[in-house]
Each structure stands twice: as C-alpha cells, then as structure tokens.
Amino acid sequence: MYVRLHIVVQGYVQGVGFRYFVYHHATKLGLPGWVRNLFNGDVEIEAEGERSLLESFIEEVKVGPRSAHVKDLRIEWKTYENKYSAFEIL
C-alpha cells in the first residue's frame, strides 16, 4: 500500500548532517519527498512510497547520524498523492 509520511524530528538535529543523512536513506530506499530545517530547530520530512519502506525509513530517522540526538518524532500518515519524483533537501 502506498502512503505519504510526514515527520517532524525534535532534538539536536540541526548542524549535524541530519538532512544529508535523511536524504541518503530516502534515496537508498527509493522514496521521493523532501527534508528541511525549521526555524525552531526541528527538522521536517515528507516522503511517499510503500508503507513497509517508509516504516524502515522511520527506524533510520529515529537513530539519525552519529552526532545527532533525536528526542522525539511526530509522525503523521497521509493519503498517497504521487506528488514527488525524487527526494530533495529544501
């Protein structure tokens, strides 16, 4: 089943290569979407694809790169819209 995933990652996640980490894992899994820093220090992610692949992606995001400290993930499952052709860092 194809779905869309929206995540807000809280913790020490800016200035530590987090967006590049997310980009690497999303492209490795073939998931299109985007990642961006938010002004409050959080990182926002949206991706689409097979739910099982997105669940694997969530497990990677929970860990993050070595220098990051993920405190919490706010996860929202949405309707698949097929609106992305690739994964990008915004």
Active site residue 37: yes
Q: What are phi and psi of 4, to 5 degrees?
A: -115, 140
Active site residue 66: no
Pairing status of strand 87-89 against strand 33-37? parallel
Per DSSP, helices labelled H in the chain are 18-29, 51-63
- Find the catalytic residue in 4, 36, 37, 40: 37
- Find the catalytic residue in 4, 19, 51, 82: 19
Q: Is 40 exposed, middle or buried (0-12, 13-18, 19+ CB in 10 A)?
A: exposed
| Residues tagged active-site | 19, 37
